[in-house]
């Protein structure tokens, strides 16, 4: 008995491991005999692709899946029962070695389905750095019908930004807008989608273009003529009261236009769209479209800059002002030929309305006068925004004399030496 027990426990770890391995092999054999194969196509989905890279590879499908499942679950399997994906989060983008191997993962939507094997378990993918650059916009007009004259295209944007894989973007030389010239001779004026092309005109992809389209205008005709005409600024409305138009300027002053001979025959100027100055109290500047007649197109800009300069309206006002003596001596007497004069002041209407004749006077400087009669000029000081237009009379006669008795020394009468200014 002891010998039998000794035999059992001798090297028991190795014997236990052998039993476990045999059990696993048996279970694997049973499972392999019961495993089933699903033949179909499950698309491989890229997950967590780096934002700075572009996946150039077209991912294959998982085409073979071996699984173990209860009979009721196995009978309902389809391509939607499985999800195949490849995680790109750890892929390092290297332009020198763009192809990398990525592990494929397959899961079943039904937890009772156990995935045993599938093909392929790994795939090679190509990642390219995401780059951008500016390229010019070109217009491909295609074949031109006979008998038609076609002018150079006008596009809303001369350059655009292209973004995509570095290996593709480095080949892009232009963004092309493709239009068709109709035999009827109708002008082209439409939004056209852009395609990225290489030096040979071959379309490249994948490329994102911003903006994706441009406005293309092409003049088409049988007897096109051109003419240079002045630009006429059209101003409507009335400025605020108390203001007037000082000047109106437009840029450009002339413009070249093109059209059929009949459309240009009676054309002497090109108007701008109306610019309103209703109620304006300061300069008005607007950029507006040109009002081009039907059948006439601009060979240059299609807009103009209109500037309307305003200024306050001005006028004059005549006010009676008193005469004040400046630098008068207390030991002299002064007799004036007149003690009031008429002063004509110029300025804006608003400033003239606020003017008060009592706030200023005509000044006669008598400081250097000896006894006798003298012809003395007058001067008037007004606010800086006003100007003196005329003084009537501009000079007065001042007679200087001696007082009949000495003036009291205690209370001399001061002469005005300054004039209040409003």
How far apart are alpha carbons 191 and 179 in whole angstroms? 10
pLDDT at 342: 92
pLDDT tens digit string along 259-302? 877 788 888 999 999 999 999 989 999 999 999 988 788 888 88
pLDDT in tens, 233-250: 999 999 988 888 999 999
Q: What is the pLDDT of residue 33?
A: 44
pLDDT at position 30 = 46
What pLDDT, on a 0 to 100 scale, did the predictor assign at position 372? 92
Could you tell me if 293 and 266 are in contact, meaning their C-beta atoms sit under 8 angstroms apart?
A: no
The encoded tokens of residue 392 equal 């009537």
- Would you say how long the chain is, in residues? 422
Tell me what percent of the residues of the chain surpass a pLDDT of 70. 85
* CA-CA-CA-CA torsion sign (337, 340, 342, 345): positive
Task: Output the CA torsion sign for 59, 65, 69, 71.
Answer: positive
Convert the pLDDT of each residue in 22-48 to its tens digit: 565 545 544 444 688 888 899 999 998
Dihedral of alpha carbons 137, 138, 141, 142, sign = negative
Given a cut of 50, the residues of the chain with pLDDT beneath it are: 26, 29-33, 410-422
pLDDT of the residue at 96: 67
pLDDT computed for residue 303 by the predictor: 93
């Amino acid at each position: 008995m002891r010998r039998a027990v000794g035999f059992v426990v001798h090297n028991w770890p190795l014997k236990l491991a052998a039993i476990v391995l045999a059990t696993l092999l048996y279970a694997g054999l049973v499972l392999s005999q019961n495993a089933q194969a699903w033949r179909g196509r499950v698309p491989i989905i890229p997950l967590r692709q780096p934002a700075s890279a572009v996946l150039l590879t077209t991912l294959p499908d998982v085409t073979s899946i071996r699984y173990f499942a209860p009979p009721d679950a196995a009978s309902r399997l389809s391509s939607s029962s499985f999800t195949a994906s490849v995680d790109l989060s750890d892929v390092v983008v290297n332009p020198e070695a763009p192809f990398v191997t990525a592990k494929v993962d397959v899961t079943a939507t039904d937890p009772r389905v156990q995935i045993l094997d599938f093909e392929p378990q790994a795939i090679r993918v190509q990642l390219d750095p995401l780059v951008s650059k500016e390229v010019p916009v070109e217009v491909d007009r295609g074949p031109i019908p006979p008998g038609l004259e076609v002018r150079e295209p006008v596009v809303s944007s001369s350059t655009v930004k292209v973004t995509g894989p570095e290996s593709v973007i480095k080949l892009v030389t232009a963004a092309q807008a493709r239009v068709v010239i109709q035999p009827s001779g109708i002008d082209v004026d439409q939004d056209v989608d852009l395609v990225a092309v290489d030096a040979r005109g071959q379309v490249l992809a994948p490329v994102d273009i911003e903006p994706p389209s441009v406005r293309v205008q092409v003049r088409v005709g049988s007897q096109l003529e051109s003419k240079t005409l002045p630009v006429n600024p059209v101003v409507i409305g009335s400025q605020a009261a108390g203001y007037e138009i000082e000047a109106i300027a437009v840029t450009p002053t002339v413009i070249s236009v093109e059209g059929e001979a009949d459309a240009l025959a009676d054309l002497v100027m090109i108007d701008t769209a109306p610019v309103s100055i209703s109620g304006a109290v300061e300069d008005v500047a607007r950029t507006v479209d040109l009002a081009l007649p039907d059948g006439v197109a601009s060979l240059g800009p299609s807009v103009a800059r209109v500037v309307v300069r305003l200024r306050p309206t001005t006028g004059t006002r005549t006010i009676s002002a008193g005469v004040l003596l400046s630098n008068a001596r207390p030991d002299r007497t002064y007799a004036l030929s007149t003690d009031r004069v008429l002063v004509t002041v110029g300025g804006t209407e608003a400033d003239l309305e606020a003017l008060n004749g009592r706030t200023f006077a005509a000044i006669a400087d008598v400081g250097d006068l000896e006894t006798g009669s003298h012809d003395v000029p007058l001067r008037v000081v007004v606010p800086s925004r006003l100007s003196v237009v005329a003084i009537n009379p501009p000079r007065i006669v001042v007679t200087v004399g001696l007082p009949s008795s000495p003036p009291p020394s205690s209370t001399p009468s001061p002469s005005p030496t300054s004039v209040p200014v409003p």
